[in-house]
Structures are given as C-alpha cells and as structure tokens.
Chains A and B, each alone.
Chain A
Amino acid sequence: MKILIKKGRVIDPRNGIDEVLDVYVNGGFIEKIDKHIREKDHDVEIIDADGLIVAPGLIDVHVHLREPGYEYKESIKTGTMAAVKGGFTTVVCMANTNPVNDNKSVTEYIMKQSKAEGACRVFPCGAITKGLKGIELAEIGEMFEAGIIAISDDGKSVRNSELLRKALEYTKLFGIPVISHCEDEDLSKGFVHEGKASIISGIDAVPSIAEEIIVKRDMALAEYVGSPIHLTHLSAKGSVDSVREVKKRFKKVTCDTCPHYFTLTDEETLSFDTNTKVNPPLRSKEDVEAIKEGLRNGSIDIIATDHAPHDFTSKDVEFNIATSGISGLETAFSLSLALVHEGVLDLSGLLRKFTEAPAKAFKLPYGELKPGSAADIIIFDPAARWTVDRNAFISKGKNTPFHGRKLRGKNLLTIVGGKIVYREKTP
C-alpha cells in the first residue's frame, strides 16, 4: 500500500521536524519526507492533511489488554482497535492477565494473538514474580526470548526489597527495564486520596506518602544496582520531586503519568462515581499542578494511559467494592492536548512524551518519522471539538469519568506499518 500525505504540519520531536511537508509511505515504511512530493503511481492513496498535524504514531507503555483470561473486559482485538482510534500505534500490555504473563507460554500467546488480531503493535510486559505474588522471580529470560520488553508486577509493588534487587540485577542480562508500581501496601488500605475530600466522604484513604516512599526505595535500589527503572503512573507531588532529584545523578530513571492525574482532582470522588476510582487515586490540586510542572520541566518523561477496561457490573456497585481503573486509550491524547492549550507544553513537547521518550526508555524502534522508519503515523486535528461519549468507545471498557466532557483535539487517522487502521468517520 502506498500513501501520500499532503501538506500536513509534520511534527517529529526525535528528528527535530516541525514544518509543512509531504510524507510518502511505501511498503510499510516511510520512503520520503519532503516539501513537495509528486505522486508517481496510480495506486497511491492521497490524503489531504492541510491544516492538520502529521506525527509519529503514539506509544503507550502501560495498557491492560485483559487477554488472556478477562476477555469479557477487553481483548487484544478490541483493546488495540481502541488504541489506534486514540492515536496509539504501539502498546505495552501489563502482565496481570489470567493466567499471569509470568512464563513464555503466555507471552507467546499474547504475541501470536496480537499478530493475528491486533490493530497495532503489541509488546508484552512480563511479570517480575511468579503469579505476581512477590515471592520468587518469574522466568524472565524465557519471556524475554518470547518477546517481553520489560517486567512489572503492575497492580502491586514488589514488597520484598531483596527480591526487587534481584529482579533489577537479573534484567541486566537482557537490558530491559523494571517497571515499578509504586505503592506501599501497608499504607494503602483505602480507595481515595487522603485529603480534604476523603475527610468529607469518609471513604478509607491512601496518603501520597504510600506512593512516594516506594518511589524513593525503588530508585535507590535501581541506582545501587545500576539498572534501569521505570516508575509508572506517578500521581503525587513528592514522587515528582524525588524523581527530579535522583535524575540529576542517576540517568537510568524514567517515569510516566496518566492524563487523569493532570486532569482530575480528588474532589471528583465526592460524587461517589466509581469511574473516578483509580489506583493510585486521584490526588489533590497541589499534586495535579506538580504533575503538570513535572511534565513541563522534564521530570516526567512519558504520558501513558494505564488503560484499565472493566465490565459494567464491576463499576456498578458501591465505591469501596468497585474495581479501579479508567478505560483511557480513546481519550488520553485529546485530554493531553489540553496541556498544549494551557501552555504547559508545546505540541512537539507533548508529542515527545508519547513518542520519542517511550521509544527511548523501552528501546523500541518506533516513534519517529524519517525515511526508512516504520510507517506508524497519525494525523490529528488539535482544534477539533468533540464530546466524550463512552457508548461510542471501541474498547469494551466504558468506564470513564470523562463521559460528556468537551475536549479539544482529536486523532483522525492512524497508520500502522503503512496500513490505514483507523479513519475518523466524518458525519
């Protein structure tokens, strides 16, 4: 398939591009990027991108595709279809499937299923410990051979520091990062952020320090061992401050946050809407501002979705027993464009969080636009206004606190490996 994208404003942070250019795609790769590319063949699809942004396909380093085991919540097929709608061309899926992705059989299944049914590129994240139980290391080497690109017990912190140290040491063999879910279990016996809102609602609360303390511990261990560590879904000011400090001397630390942590505050939980229940919980206004500042000053490298789709009944219960998580793939990029509209980041800076930075942290050969690179491309309109409608989600997970929210900026077209896999239907 040949595609010629005409007159789009091409932005690629990795290669320092930000100008109106044409992009020519041929055979799954970008063949040429230039000011005026003439169509040579008859079988070229020409896309007029005048007034739109052409960017590398987005990379999401934290999604839950739920397959195998929880296909009623999401499948690789529906999850990746939601991904490409949201502008993502590569996703890293977490290991808390059923069975857990703690051995090569599960990894191979995910790889195979992704190739067969995935709408975008899928890279599995293996478990750190068998069964995510935090007792003994999973078969990391075998999973690496099968295709994992990182390890994480996401959903749980590795409570045993010695075991985490071993994981950090062992992964040196493969050169993959450990993704850390930063949460002190003993301090986390709650469902919302500990602050004024939790005082009002009376819901058992989790203090910021529950995250901050593990951020410090895990960075200290990684620095001691000298291994790369990626801290995921950071939500608290103290975490951002710690990362900024450690990054000054230890360069193997990267981290991400999610759109809900810079968009919503814990006040949302006063509605008892279970769609606002996430882990870590929505934090205070001060934390939200710190996350934005962390994104601005570079302390936070990456924006991920922590796409956590759930079936309706898991959320249609009392707040305390509802499952945690937001179905985020279809709203994340549009929500993040608010950072540009607010002046926190420029477009290139925002795109870096979704492309160059995750590609670098996870050693993925994607996230850039240059001749010879994979044709993973999105075209979006940063000014398009639309209203979130969870019923229009492709994801099986309709759990979003953003239903009805008016957003500015939308992905219109997604190309993965030179093929158009998503195209916004115009009314």
Chain B
Amino acid sequence: MNWTKKDLLGIRELSKEEILLILDTAESFKDISKREVKKVPTLRGKTVITLFYEPSTRTRVSFEIAAKRLSADTINVSANTSSYVKGETLKDTAKNLESMQPDVIVIRHEMPGAPHMLSKIVNSSVINGGDGAHEHPTQALLDMFTMREKKGRIDGLKIAIIGDIAHSRVARSNIFALKNFDTEIICCGPPTMIPPYLEDLGVRVEYNINKAVKNADVIMMLRIQKERGGVSYIPSINEYSTIYGLKQDHVKKAKNDVIIMHPGPMNRGVEITGEVADGPYSVILDQVENGVAVRMAVLFLLTGSEA
C-alpha cells in the first residue's frame, strides 16, 4: 500500500495496514544506523523543524538524528528559546515557520490537540511528537517495532501497561495501536491513575500488579507524570514504589521470555528497579535505537520521498 496522509497526528487515525507499512519501512532503515557512514540522500533538500513546547531529550534528538541520517536539514525550536515566551500564539508561530517553507514540522506540546490545530494552519506535514496526555504516535510505533522484533509477532501478545495511565500519552497511543491487532492489554496502576471508562477502549483494568504481570509477554512501565500533577494522585512516591514499582519478583511471574519496556525517562527505584531496568529482559535501550528507524520511516513516508 502507499502512504496517503499529509500528517501523523495520532495512532487512532491509522489503519492496521498503515501501521504495518511504517513498521516495514522502518525495518529497511534500521541498517543505515549501523553503517560506518550513517547517511543516505533520501531527504536531501528537505527541511524538518522540531518545535518543542515541552522538555524532551530522546524524542527531539531521535527525530533530529532520523532526519539528518536521511540528509534533511533540521532546525530545533524550543519553547523557552522561542517567541512563545514573549506571548506569541501557537498559530502565529506556526504561520511564521510556515512562511520559511519547511517540509515537516514535528511538534511537542503540553496541550492535547495542538498538533491538530497546527496541521490546519500549515501546509507542511505535521508529526505529533507528543501532545499532553493525548497521543505519542511515534513512541507507540517504536514500541510495536520493538515488540515485533523481539517477539517475532504482535498478534497473540499479552501486554501489561503499568503506571500513571491517566496522564500517559504513551499508554493511549499504544492501546490505540495494539487494538488493531489480536492482543490482550491489561492496564494496571493505582485506581486514581486509572481513568473511568478506560475499559471502553477494549482493555482490562487490574489494580494488582502481581495479577497484571502474570503470564505477560510484554511489561510496559510508565513514568509518573509529575508535570501533569501525577504525584497528587498518590499518597507518596515511596508508597507508589512499594506497591507499583516493577521488581524482579514481578518479572518472574511473567512469561519466561518477557520483555520489559519503558518509554523513558525512567525514575529508577520508583516505577522500576535498577536491577530490572538493566536486567536481561529489558529492551529499553532497544526502544531508543528503534526510535530512530521508525522516525526515519515516518519522515520518509510523509515527505513522499522515493528510496
């Protein structure tokens, strides 16, 4: 199939075929990062702007590396160094950037829907690099890529997503993505972090972490979203860590070949022990590596480039 969309605003808008197209395309790009000369001319002459209203290390760098490896020119705009601090609206910022003719704008914003607003203003392709608690589509895609790579399949997997579900765009995008496949999804966390009606998305809710991880193929840990008030949803970080922190005992309850995932940044000793994060089942750094390939694929498909 061919890619037809102008933007990548969320996973929910994608069909199973479109998800697989991105994953398959990413396969072909992964090798580039392992070459001595990590660069192909595919996006030569294209301009990619990363417009980040929220702090980010891995997503911004990952997009920038992905674009550079495809020979695109990249420009990073951060909110604290942009006219945003002078009171410029997103719309005006977008119009100004658009007048400089970028091909792609990657936006991260603390408010849900900001990428959707941007996409209506600019002709450039817009990629949602995370909008509030709404979506983080490339994270979900790289997570699926990693699952498929490590497990050889997505269909049939039992996936436990554990942590601050209410505030997690990673959880949402993964749920939207994984529901396209024959998967069993268990969402687990303190009741205050499990929003009402979550089961309407076709997932099972489990408050007990021991039950959630039992026989899981994938355990996906989430960070407490302190910037979205996550800490006020629990009595203390210490109590959270005691009840919901992923420990070696939990891993033993899962399948023998379980993989442990985390979108980062990790709070070691809070949602995951260092022992588990660095242990043999952890694929956390593989996720980061695969993120580059997936983002190369997305940039490639959105710009309509030919390999």
Smallest CB separation, A227 vs chain B (Å): 35
Contact A196 B134 (CB under 8 A): no
Please tell me which one of the listed residues A194, A196, A201 contacts residue B112 in the complex, with CB atoms under 8 A apart: A201
Q: Check if A380 is an interface residue, CB within 8 A of chain B.
A: no
Residues in B with CB closer than 8 Å to A142 are none
Which residues on the B side are within 8 Å of A225 (C-beta)? none
A320: chain B residues at CB < 8 Å are: 111-112, 132
Query: Are the CB atoms of B134 and A194 closer together than 8 Å?
Result: no
Say yes or no: A203-B113 contact (C-beta < 8 A), given A194-B195, A317-B89. yes
Residue from the list B111, B195, B198 in contact with A318, Cβ < 8 A: B111
Once A272-B112, A318-B109, A320-B112 are accepted as A-B contacts, the answer to whether A202 and B172 lie under 8 Å apart by CB is: yes
User: Any chain A CB within 8 A of the CB of B152?
Assistant: no
B197, A196: Cβ atoms closer than 8 Å: yes
Q: Are B134 and A195 in contact (CB under 8 A)?
A: no
Distance to closest chain A CB from B285 (angstroms): 27
Asked whether, in the complex, the Cβ of B113 is within 8 Å of the Cβ of A194, the reply is no
A29 interface hit (Cβ, 8 Å): no
Cβ-defined contact, A319 with B113, below 8 A: yes
Q: Is B108 an interface residue (CB 8 A)?
A: no
Q: A196-B197, A199-B200, A200-B172 are in contact. Are A317 and B112 (CB under 8 A)?
A: no
A236 to chain B, nearest CB (A): 14
CA distance A198 to B117 in the complex (A): 18
Q: List residues of chain A with CB within 8 A of the CB of B91.
A: 316-317
Contact, CB under 8 Å: A272 / B117? yes
Task: Tell me which residues across on chain B come within 8 A of A207, comparing CB atoms.
Answer: 196
A197 CB → nearest B CB, Å? 9
A319 to chain B, nearest CB (A): 5
Chain A 258-299 interface mask (CB, 8 Å, partner B; 1/0): 000000000000011000000000000000000000000000
**Interface residue total, chain B, C-beta cutoff 8 A:** 24
Query: CB-CB contacts of B182-209 with A at 8 A, as 1s and 0s?
Result: 0000000000000111101100000000
* CB neighbours of B196 from chain A (8 A): 194-195, 207
User: Known interface pairs A194-B195, A194-B196, A318-B90. Does A199 touch B201 (Cβ–Cβ under 8 Å)?
Assistant: yes
A321 at interface, CB cutoff 8 A: yes
Contacts of A200 in B (CB 8 A): 12, 172, 201
Task: Kindly report which residue of chain B lies nearest to residue A200, judged by CB atoms.
Answer: B12
CB within 8 Å of B: which of A316-337? 316-321
A271 vs B89: C-alpha distance when bound (angstroms): 20
Any A CB within 8 A of the CB of B260: no
Interface size on A, residues (CB 8 A): 21
- Out of A198, A272, A316, name the residue touching B113 (CB < 8 Å): A272
**Across-interface contacts of B201 in A (CB, < 8 A):** 196, 199-200
* B117:A203 contact, CB within 8 angstroms: no
Residues on B with C-beta less than 8 A from A319 are 111-113, 117
Chain A contacts for B197, CB-based, 8 A: 194-196, 198-199
CB distance from A193 to the nearest CB of B (A): 10
Task: Flag A200-229 by CB within 8 Å of B: 1 or 0 each.
Answer: 111111010000000000000000000000
Contacts of A316 in B (CB 8 A): 89, 91
B169 interface residue (CB < 8 Å to A): yes
* Inter-chain contacts of A194 with B (CB < 8 A): 195-197
Q: Which of B89, B90, B112, B200 contacts A202 (CB 8 A)?
A: B112
CB <8 Å contact, B169 and A272: no
Proximity bits, B102-125, A CB within 8 Å = 1, else 0: 000000010111101100000000
B174 vs chain A, min Cβ distance (A)? 13
Are A196 and B135 touching (Cβ within 8 A)? no
Partner of A272 from B90, B116, B198 at Cβ < 8 Å: B116
**CB atoms of B200 and A321 under 8 A apart:** no
Residue in A closest to B131 when the chains form the complex, CB atoms: A202
Supposing A272-B117, A316-B91, A317-B90 touch, asked if A202 and B109 sit within 8 A by C-beta, the answer is no
Q: Is B51 an interface residue, CB under 8 A from the partner? A: no
User: 1/0 per residue B250-294: CB within 8 Å of A?
Assistant: 000000000000000000000000000000000000000000000
Instruction: Report yes or no: A203 in contact with B200, Cβ–Cβ below 8 A.
Output: no
Distance, CA A46 to CA B191, complexed state (A): 68
- Inter-chain CA distance A205–B196, complex, in Å, is 11
Residues on the A chain within 8 Å of B111, using CB: 318-321
Of chain A, the residue at the smallest CB distance from B201 is A199
CB distance from A396 to the nearest CB of B (A): 20
In the complex, A317→B200 CA distance in Å?
A: 30
With known contacts A272-B117, A316-B91, A318-B90, A203–B198 Cβ distance under 8 A:
no
Interface flag for B178 (CB, 8 Å) = no
| A196 CB contacts on chain B under 8 angstroms | 197, 200-201
B133 at the interface (CB under 8 A from A): yes
Query: How would residues 150 to 163 of chain A score, 1 for a CB under 8 Å from any chain B CB and 0 otherwise?
Result: 00000000000000
Residues in B with CB closer than 8 Å to A317 are: 89-91
Shortest CB-to-CB span from B202 to chain A, Å, is 11
Identify the closest chain B residue to A203 (Cβ).
B112
Q: With a CB–CB cut-off of 8 A, which chain B residues contact A204?
A: 133
The 0/1 profile, CB within 8 Å of B marked 1, for residues 171-206 of chain A is 000000000000000000000001110111111110
Separation of A205 and B135 alpha carbons in the complex (Å): 16
Distance of B187 from chain A, by nearest CB (Å): 11
Q: Indicate if the CB atoms of B114 and A202 lie closer than 8 Å.
A: no
Residues 6-65 of B contacting A (Cβ, < 8 Å): 12
Please provide the chain B residues from 122 to 172 with a CB less than 8 Å away from any CB of chain A in the complex.
131-135, 169, 172
CB distance from A234 to the nearest CB of B (A): 21
Residue of B nearest to A317 (CB): B89
> A212: shortest Cβ distance to chain B, in Å?
14
Assembly CA distance A205 to B134 (angstroms): 12
B contact residues vs A (CB 8 Å cutoff): 12, 89-91, 109, 111-114, 116-117, 131-135, 169, 172, 195-198, 200-201
Known pairs A201-B113, A317-B90, A320-B112 / 16 extra A-B pairs, C-beta < 8 Å: A199-B198, A200-B172, A201-B134, A202-B134, A203-B113, A203-B132, A203-B133, A203-B134, A272-B112, A272-B116, A316-B91, A317-B91, A318-B111, A319-B113, A320-B111, A321-B111
Footprint of B on A, CB under 8 Å? 194-196, 198-205, 207, 271-272, 313, 316-321
Q: Which 3 residue pairs spanning A and B have beta carbons closest together? A: A272-B113, A202-B134, A202-B133
List 6 interface pairs A-B (beta carbons < 8 Å), by A numbering.
A198-B197, A199-B172, A202-B132, A202-B172, A316-B89, A319-B113
